[in-house]
């Protein structure tokens, strides 16, 4: 008992030192000058490594500063010392979600919601993850619960719109997006979500009005630029669509989806060599991706490299690398594109009236306007069927394949 009592002054003195140090940097933290704040936390944690709350605060600052992996490492220490620390577990979910570890992030948020069903951060995180994993129906209850807790929140309303948009509930999704914009007229996710639904309904003018506003607010937002490109394509303004896709590529040069969109846009302008150039660059970033291989195969077919197109379109089903002749053909076309050459434009053929099947494919592509080509793997056999023309030796470019790849 005496030892415990003797320890109290030391504990209080230690806490006073920690509080004094944190008070001294409070203004830096308020100004989000995290690079100056973090060294102070690291010094304090080094001196008091058993202080769970101090360690948690440092991990949270690192999360806010974008130091995601460092934040996760320290949050794991917090949870090791105090497994019931829900705030740390919730932040762990946030960090893992930002790192792209969806399954692990979901486990963290599930644990938080199980212990605290109305934890807003965990509800938002779970709904977001399930939407990314195409579990929109599963995401809806979490999003609805969040809206009930914070009915005047633009992020919550927009999230519910996202959950409803992929189901047969477009009207309800639209209402939620509009409600979010009444709360915050500059909330970009709601502007983009509403624009996508308007594109599906072929209301490109209204969609572009929302997207122009979103672009003014976030000019480097690739999702906004993708959606703008699809809206322009709906208006048959291919040049403006290509400009949007070029901006997306400039913002994120390593984004394979931007390259696929750019490839398809260039081909629509008749720049088939440039189409191959961009599709090949996308393939190098995402080798084996089915949508990318469809785009590259169609581009090669348009460039007259039928054998190479056939090899590309069948390589994923064979689970094999390209033939040397295919790689040589791709490099040759890329060289021509780099030198500014283009294939002579062939005489246009009268296109037949699109079938109901091709219309349904176009509708699905428009529904996914602005989405990354990696966000969905279609379960139907349409790409394979449409690729058969090239695989069997026909040189015409299948337009439906092009539209499917653009989604």
- What is the number of other CB atoms lying within 10 angstroms of the CB of residue 154? 21
Structure tokens at 356: 């109901």
Q: Between the CA of residue 396 and those of 347, 400, 402, what are the distances in Å?
A: 12, 12, 12
Which H, E and C letters describe 83-124, residue by residue? CCCHHHHHHHHHHHHHHCCHHHHHHHHHHHHHHCCCCHHHHH
Residue 356 has pLDDT above 50, yes or no: no
**Rounded CA gap, 364 and 390, in Å?**
23
Q: Which residues contact 61 (CB under 8 A, 6 or more apart)?
A: 29, 34, 37, 38, 41
Residues in the chain: 407
> Is the four-CA dihedral 259, 265, 269, 270 of positive or negative sign?
positive
State the pLDDT confidence band at 10, using cuts at 50, 70 and 90: low
Q: What number is the average pLDDT over the span 294-320?
A: 86
- Alpha-carbon Rg for the chain in angstroms: 26
Looking at residue 320, its pLDDT comes to: 67
Mean pLDDT of 6-35: 79
* CA within 13 Å, CB half, 255: 24
Share of the chain above pLDDT 90, in %: 60
Determine which of 71-75, 334-338, 358-362 has the lowest per-residue pLDDT on average: 358-362
CA distance 300 to 284: 15
Res. 339: pLDDT tops 80: yes
Q: Mark 202-220 as b/e (b = at least 16 C-beta within 10 Å).
A: eebeebbebbebbbeeeee
Interhelix angle 256-268/290-302, nearest 10 degrees: 30
Lowest-pLDDT range, 40-44, 141-145, 301-305, 356-360?
Answer: 356-360
* Residue 174 neighbours by CB under 8 Å, 6+ apart: 161, 194, 197
Alpha-carbon gap, residue 357 to 399, rounded angstroms: 13
Position 13 scores a pLDDT of 82
Asked if pLDDT for residue 406 goes beyond 90, the answer is no
Backbone phi, psi, residue 162, to 5°: -60, -40
Residue identified by tokens 């190479």 is 308
CB-CB neighbours of 376 under 10 Å = 14
Contact status, residue 311 vs residue 323, Cβ threshold 8 Å: yes
**For the range 21-28, what are the long-range contacts, defined as Cβ-Cβ under 8 Å and sequence gap of 24 or more?**
22/57
pTM of the predicted structure, to 2 decimals:
0.75
For residues 228 and 211, the answer to whether their CB atoms sit within 8 Å is yes
Question: What pLDDT shows up at residue 372?
Answer: 40
Which class for 379: exposed (0-12), middle (13-18), buried (19 or more C-beta within 10 A)? Answer: exposed
Reported as a single tens digit per residue, the pLDDT across 176-226 is 999 999 999 999 999 999 999 999 999 999 999 999 999 999 999 999 999
Task: Tokens for 302, please give them.
Answer: 């348009």
247 and 239 Cβ atoms separated by less than 8 Å: no
Q: How many CA atoms lie within 13 A of 41 on its CB side?
A: 22
Q: Please, is 307 exposed, middle or buried when counting C-beta atoms within 10 Å of its C-beta (0-12, 13-18, 19+)?
A: middle
Determine the Cα–Cα distance for residues 181 and 214; give it in Å rounded to an integer: 12
The Cα–Cα gap between 285 and 234 comes to 28
Spatial CA neighbour of 286 closest among 375, 363, 357, 193: 375
**pLDDT, tens digit, 9 for 90 and up, residues 101-143:** 999 999 999 999 999 999 999 999 999 999 999 999 999 999 9
Closest CA to 260 of 235, 229, 239: 229
Residues 6+ away with beta carbon under 8 Å from 98: 68
């Amino acid at each position: 008992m005496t030892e415990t009592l003797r320890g109290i002054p030391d504990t209080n003195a230690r806490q006073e030192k920690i509080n004094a140090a944190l008070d001294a940097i409070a203004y830096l933290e308020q100004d989000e000058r995290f690079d100056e704040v973090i060294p102070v936390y690291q010094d304090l944690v080094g001196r008091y490594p058993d202080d769970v709350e101090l360690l948690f605060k440092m991990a949270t600052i690192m999360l806010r500063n974008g130091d995601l992996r460092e934040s996760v490492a320290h949050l794991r220490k917090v949870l090791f010392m105090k497994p019931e620390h829900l705030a740390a577990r919730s932040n762990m979910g946030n960090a893992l979600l930002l790192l792209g570890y969806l399954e692990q992030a979901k486990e963290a948020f599930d644990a938080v919601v199980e212990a605290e069903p109305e934890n807003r951060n965990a509800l938002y995180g779970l709904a977001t993850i399930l939407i990314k994993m195409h579990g929109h129906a599963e995401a809806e209850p979490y999003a609805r619960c969040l809206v009930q807790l914070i009915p005047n929140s633009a992020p919550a309303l927009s999230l519910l719109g996202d959950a409803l948009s992929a189901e047969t509930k477009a009207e309800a999704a639209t209402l939620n997006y509009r409600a979010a914009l009444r709360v915050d007229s500059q909330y970009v996710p709601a502007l983009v979500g509403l624009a996508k639904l308007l594109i599906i309904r072929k209301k490109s003018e209204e969609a572009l009005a929302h997207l122009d506003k979103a672009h003014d607010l976030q000019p480097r937002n690739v999702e906004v630029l993708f959606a703008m490109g699809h809206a322009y394509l709906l208006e048959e303004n291919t040049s403006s669509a290509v400009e949007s896709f070029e901006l997306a590529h400039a913002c994120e040069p390593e984004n394979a989806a931007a390259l696929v969109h750019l490839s398809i846009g260039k081909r629509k302008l008749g720049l088939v060599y440039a189409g191959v150039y961009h599709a090949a660059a996308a393939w190098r970033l995402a080798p084996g991706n089915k949508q990318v291989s469809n785009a590259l195969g169609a581009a090669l077919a348009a460039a007259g490299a039928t054998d190479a197109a056939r090899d590309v379109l069948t390589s994923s089903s064979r689970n094999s690398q390209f033939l040397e002749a295919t790689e040589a053909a791709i490099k040759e076309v890329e060289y021509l594109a780099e030198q500014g050459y283009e294939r002579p434009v062939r005489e246009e053929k009268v296109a037949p009236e699109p079938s109901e099947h091709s219309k349904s494919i176009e509708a699905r592509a428009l529904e996914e306007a602005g989405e990354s080509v990696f966000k969905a793997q279609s379960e139907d056999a349409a790409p394979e069927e449409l690729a058969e023309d090239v695989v069997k030796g026909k040189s015409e470019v299948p337009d439906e394949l092009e539209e499917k790849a653009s989604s």
